[in-house]
Amino acid sequence: MAKDTPQTFYLKDYTPFGYDVESVHLTFRLTPETTRILSRIRFAPKPDATDSTFFLHGEDLTLISARIDGQAVTPDLVEGGLKCEVPGTPFTWEAEVEINPAGNTALEGLYMSNRMYCTQCEAEGFRKITYYPDRPDVMSTFTVRIEGDEPVMLSNGNPMGQGEGWAEWHDPWPKPAYLFALVAGDLVNYAGAFTTRSGKEVELNIWVRPGDEGKCAFGMEALKKSMKWDEDVYGLEYDLDLFNIVAVDDFNMGAMENKGLNIFNSSCVLASPETSTDANFERIEAIIAHEYFHNWTGNRITCRDWFQLCLKEGLTVFRDAQFTADMRSEPVKRIDDVIALRARQFPEDGGPLAHPPRPEEFQEINNFYTATVYEKGAEVIGMLKRLVGDDNYYKALKLYFERHDGQACTIEDWLKVFEDATGRDLQQFKLWYSQAGTPRLKVSEDYADGTYTLTFEQSTPPTPGQPDKAPRVIPVAVGLLSPNGDEVRATEVLELTEAKQSFSFDGLAARPVPSILREFSAPVILQRETTNAERAFLLAHDTDPFNRWEAGNALAKETRVTMVLDGDAPDAAYLDALEKLVRDDDQDPAFRALVLTPPSQADIAQTLHERGFTPDPQKIYDAAETFAQTLAQQLETSLPRLYAATTADGAYVPDAEGAGKRALNGRILSLLTRLDGGDQAARQYAAADNMTQQYAALAALMKAEKGAAQSQAFFDQWQDDRLVMDKWFALQIACAAPEKTAATAAALTRHALFDMKNPNRFRAVMGALAGNHAGFHHASGEAYQLLADNLIALDTLNPQTTARMCAAFQTWKRYGTGRQSLIRAQLTRIANAPDLSRDTTEMVTRILDA
Ligand code: BES
Ligand code: ZN
Instruction: Say if CB 82 and CB 55 are below 8 A apart.
Output: yes
Q: Which atom of ligand 1 is nearest to the CA of 290?
A: 18
Q: Whose CA is nearest to atom 4 of ligand 1?
A: 256
Q: Whose CA is nearest to atom 21 of ligand 1?
A: 254
pLDDT of res. 4: 54
Integer CA distances (angstroms), 512 to 452, 454, 465, 518, in order = 8, 11, 42, 16
Taking the alpha carbons at both ends of the chain, their separation in whole angstroms is: 25
CA distance 550 to 538: 9
Task: Reply yes or no on whether the pLDDT at 3 is more than 90.
Answer: no
Ligand nearest to the CA of 122: 1
Ligand nearest to the CA of 289: 1
CA distance 496 to 209: 54
Q: Which atom of ligand 1 is nearest to the CA of 313?
A: 13
CA distance 698 to 590: 21
220-244: pLDDT as tens digits:
999 999 999 999 999 999 999 999 9
CA of 586 to the centre of ligand 2 (A): 38
pLDDT band of 850, cuts 50, 70, 90: confident
3-state SS, residue 660: helix
HSE value, Cβ hemisphere, 13 Å, CA-based, for 671: 27
CA of 255 to the centre of ligand 1 (A): 5
Q: What are the residues whose beta carbons fall under 8 Å from the beta carbon of 584, sequence distance 6 or more?
A: 592
HSE value, Cβ hemisphere, 13 Å, CA-based, for 800: 24
Task: Reply yes or no on whether the pLDDT at 70 is more than 80.
Answer: yes
Instruction: Say if CB 479 and CB 490 are below 8 A apart.
Output: yes
Is the pTM above the cut of 0.85? yes
CA of 283 to the centre of ligand 1 (A): 13
Question: What average pLDDT score do residues 348-372 get?
Answer: 98
What is the enclosing helix (H) or strand (E) of 9?
strand 9-10
Q: Which atom of ligand 1 is nearest to the CA of 253?
A: 21
237-288: pLDDT as tens digits:
999 999 999 999 999 999 999 999 999 999 999 999 999 999 999 999 999 9
122 CB within 6 A, ligand 1: yes
Instruction: Say if CB 255 and CB 266 are below 8 A apart.
Output: no
Instruction: Say if CB 726 and CB 764 are below 8 A apart.
Output: yes
Q: Which of 111, 253, 320 to mutate to test the pocket of ligand 1 (most atoms within 8 A of CB)?
A: 253
| Residue 407 burial (C-beta neighbours within 10 Å; 0-12, 13-18, 19+) | middle
What string of DSSP letters covers 270-291? ---TTT--HHHHHHHHHHHHHH
**Catalytic-labelled residue, pool 124, 147, 291, 313:** 291
253 CB within 6 A, ligand 1: yes
Q: Would you call 291 a catalytic residue per the annotation?
A: yes
CA distance 526 to 722: 43
3-state SS, residue 108: coil
pLDDT of res. 778: 98
Which residues are near ligand 2, the ion (C-beta closer than 5 Å)? Answer: 313, 316
CA of 513 to the centre of ligand 2 (A): 40
| Residue 612 burial (C-beta neighbours within 10 Å; 0-12, 13-18, 19+) | exposed
Q: Which atom of ligand 1 is nearest to the CA of 254?
A: 21
What distance lies between CA 435 and its chain's CA centroid? 21
Task: Reply yes or no on whether the pLDDT at 728 is more than 50.
Answer: yes
pLDDT band of 174, cuts 50, 70, 90: very high
755-801: pLDDT as tens digits:
999 999 999 999 999 999 999 999 999 999 999 999 999 999 999 99
Calculate the average pLDDT of the chain.
97
The b/e string for 356-386 (b: 16+ C-beta within 10 A; e otherwise) is: bbbbeebbbbbbbbbbbbbbbbbbbbbbbbb
pLDDT of res. 2: 42
DSSP state of 241: S
734-762: pLDDT as tens digits:
999 999 999 999 999 999 999 999 999 99
Q: What are the residues whose beta carbons fall under 8 Å from the beta carbon of 494, sequence distance 6 or more?
A: 454, 456, 475, 476, 477, 478, 503
712-723: pLDDT as tens digits:
999 999 999 999
CA of 254 to the centre of ligand 1 (A): 6
Task: Reply yes or no on whether the pLDDT at 414 is more than 70.
Answer: yes
CA distance 244 to 683: 42
What is the chain's Cα-based Rg? 27
pLDDT of res. 6: 82
Q: Which atom of ligand 1 is nearest to the CA of 366?
A: 9
Q: Which of 262, 291, 805, 839 to mutate to test the pocket of ligand 1 (most atoms within 8 A of CB)?
A: 291
Q: Which of 111, 175, 245, 256 to mutate to test the pocket of ligand 1 (most atoms within 8 A of CB)?
A: 256
Question: What average pLDDT score do residues 88-94 get?
Answer: 98
Q: Which amino acid is at 56?
A: L
Phi-psi domain of 178 (left: phi exceeds 0; alpha: psi -120 through 50; beta: other): alpha
pLDDT of res. 649: 80
Phi-psi domain of 56 (left: phi exceeds 0; alpha: psi -120 through 50; beta: other): beta
364 CB within 6 A, ligand 1: no
pLDDT of res. 1: 41
